[in-house]
């Protein structure tokens, strides 16, 4: 047992949590009415099944620096939510179409080791150098840049560095992709990295379903909080020596107050996601009810006056 295994024993994996994620994904995949959401859930089902299978057969050791048996720390792993390795290598799996095409063009078997060896020939290194200069490639995982780095090191005369890199990756030449697929050449600064294209982001945003909680929060921030600020500012016009209302409001104040009440009714009719402004104990409600009494010529009674003072003091403290 290595030190990583010992560390894992001290911190056992909550397999129940993993099983719960799998169950949740299964329910969504089988019941969600949105086809895209159901498809994504089905992908998660496959991922969580691999995680559970790997934990069960010992090929995946959560908590270890090298959680997948036979994969060194530099290998990019497929990782599920919570940091659980699935046992799959991101640069592994079936050959990509561009690999098959490269094998056909080079006249070698459609196997990763054969492709790897081809790229170390004079012709293969020339192809890599040309690809490197053109920029017409797309690196999706770090391993796919390895042979490009080898070609660059050879060109710069650092053959020892190239050999050291090759010594590291040769044992995995039969299962990992060590060169990238084709991509559009770009004229941008090569030090700039983009995770998603503008088109990808636009489509993702367009496909996103409404979220009532987020919409309600947005309404609170853009509608009701500003209205509460205006109510507070209106009452602060009557403050003297910290007391409210310390002086009798004049006609102009009452007119502005009436306009605030009309505005409230309009806002309440148009914006129905938030209900906080209707709760009797909320500070904003206290200010509005007291304003209704003042505009009606009644003025707040002693109890309402006390609540009004408390509400104003609380809101001022929160706003600094």
Global pTM value: 0.53
How many residues comprise the chain? 320
Can you tell me the distance from the alpha carbon of 269 to that of 240, in angstroms, rounded to the nearest whole number?
35
| CA dihedral sign, ordered 22, 25, 29, 35 | negative
CA angle (79 as vertex; 77, 82 as ends), nearest 5? 145
pLDDT band at 50 (very low <50, low <70, confident <90, very high): confident
The single residue listed with the structure tokens 């592994």 is 92
pLDDT in tens, 260-304: 999 999 999 999 999 899 999 999 999 999 999 999 988 788 899
Report which of 163, 139, 167 is spatially closest to residue 72, judged by C-alpha positions: 167
Q: Give pLDDT tens digits for 122-155.
A: 999 999 999 999 989 999 999 999 999 999 999 9
User: How much is the pLDDT for 120?
Assistant: 95
What are 248-258's pLDDT values in tens digits? 789 999 999 99
Across 42-135, the runs of DSSP E, i.e. the strands, are 77-80, 84-89
Cα–Cα distance for residue pair 110/101, rounded to 1 Å: 8
**Where in the chain are the domains?**
3-89, 97-190, 212-319
pLDDT band at residue 199 using 50, 70 and 90 as cut-offs: confident
pLDDT at 11: 43
Hey, which of 24-28, 37-41, 63-67, 116-120 has the most confident mean pLDDT? Answer: 116-120
């Amino acid at each position: 047992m290595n030190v990583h295994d010992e560390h894992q024993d001290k911190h056992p994996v909550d397999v129940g949590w993993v099983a719960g994620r799998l169950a949740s994904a299964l329910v969504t995949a089988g019941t969600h009415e949105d086809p895209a959401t159901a498809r994504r859930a089905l992908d998660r089902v496959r991922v969580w099944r691999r995680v559970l299978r790997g934990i069960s057969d010992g090929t995946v050791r959560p908590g270890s620096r090298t959680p997948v048996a036979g994969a060194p720390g530099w290998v990019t792993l497929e990782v599920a939510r919570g940091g659980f390795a699935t046992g799959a290598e991101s640069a592994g799996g079936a050959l990509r179409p561009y690999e098959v095409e490269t094998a056909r063009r080079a006249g070698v078997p459609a196997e990763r080791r054969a492709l790897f060896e081809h790229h170390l020939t004079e012709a293969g290194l020339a192809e890599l150098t040309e690809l490197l200069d053109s920029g017409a490639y797309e690196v999706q995982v770090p391993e796919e840049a390895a042979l490009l780095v080898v070609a660059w090191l050879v060109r710069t005369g650092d053959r020892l560095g190239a050999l050291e890199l090759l010594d590291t990756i040769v044992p995995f030449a039969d299962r990992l992709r060590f060169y990238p697929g084709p991509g559009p050449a770009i004229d941008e600064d090569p030090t700039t990295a983009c995770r998603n294209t503008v088109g990808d982001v636009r489509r993702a945003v367009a496909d996103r379903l409404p979220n009532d909680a987020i919409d309600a929060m947005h309404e609170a921030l853009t509608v009701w909080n500003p209205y509460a600020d205006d109510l507070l500012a209106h009452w602060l016009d009557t403050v003297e020596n910290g007391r409210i209302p310390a002086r009798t409001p004049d006609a102009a104040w009452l007119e502005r107050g009436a306009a605030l009440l009309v505005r409230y009714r309009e806002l309440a009719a148009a914006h129905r996601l938030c209900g906080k402004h209707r709760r009797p104990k909320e500070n904003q409600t206290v200010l509005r009810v007291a304003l209704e009494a003042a505009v009606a010529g009644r003025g707040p009674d002693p109890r309402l006056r006390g609540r009004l003072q408390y509400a104003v003091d609380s809101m001022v403290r929160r706003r600094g």
